[in-house]
Structure formats: C-alpha cells, structure tokens
Amino acid sequence: MFSVTVRDHVMVAHSFRGEVFGPAQALHGATFVVDATFRRRELDADNIVVDIGLATTALGAALADLRYRNLDEVDEFAGENTTTEFLARVIADRLVAAIHAGELGEGARAIGTVAVELHESHVARAGYERSV
C-alpha cells in the first residue's frame, strides 16, 4: 500500500457535555495539527498516490470553515460533542467528498482510504480512517 500524508493545523474553541470531560466541559481553545493520509494499492500513471499540492489545498478547504470558530455555534455540529475523534471523521468525510468531486484530480479516484489524525499535543492524538 502506498501513501502520501499532508499536514495543516486548525485553531478552534468548543466545550463538551458530560462529566467524563471534567474541566473541558467549559469553553476552551484547541490547536490541532492535522495530518491527512491518502492510501492506494498501486501508483497512478505518473507514479504518484495523489498530487501533493491538490491534497494540501483540499485539506485546507476541509478546515476552512472550522478555523477560529467556536464549534458550539456551528449549526452542523448542534447537539454533538466535537471531540478530536468526531472532528477527524468530519474532516475525512470532507476529503472523500472532494475526491468524488474530482478536486484532487482524476487519478485520485483510485485512492482506497483516507485517514485523518488530529494531534492535540505532543502526547495525544486521535484519528479516523475510512474507505473512499
């Protein structure tokens, strides 16, 4: 399996419901380093997994409406705990939609999986991987 990973970051604010979250129930900020990995079994005709420039642009677009936002105020997330795991799935789904829309080039349609990892800090990260 071949892979290419691109990286960006996003700064958000949010709060959580539920005692399991302790002090994170209060509004707080988070800066996530975001890695998006694209995997496929065979390289395309140009011997690449995906155009790195297009993948980087697509990741930026997937994060654009999250940047500097209070996620508690985003209608799309109403009633959700916007945990790191939850956000990884949202971003992965957006990247798969971009692949289907042709935004990563025609060759990207052969990508098999997309994995997204959000690094909360140097000691904690969470992710989500899905089929295209």
- The domain locations on the chain are 2-131
2-131: which CATH architecture?
Answer: 2-Layer Sandwich (3.30)
Confidence (pLDDT) at 115? 98
Tokens found for residue 33: 């380093």
5-41 per-position pLDDT tens digit: 999 999 999 999 999 999 999 999 999 999 999 999 9
94's enclosing H/E stretch is helix 84-100
Report pLDDT for 37: 98
pTM, two decimals, is: 0.96
Residues of the chain where predicted confidence (pLDDT) is lower than 70: none
Supply the angle between the helices 52-64 and 84-100 in degrees, to the nearest 10. 130
Q: Which of 68, 64, 73, 126 is nearest to 95 (CA)?
A: 64
Q: What is the pLDDT of residue 96?
A: 98
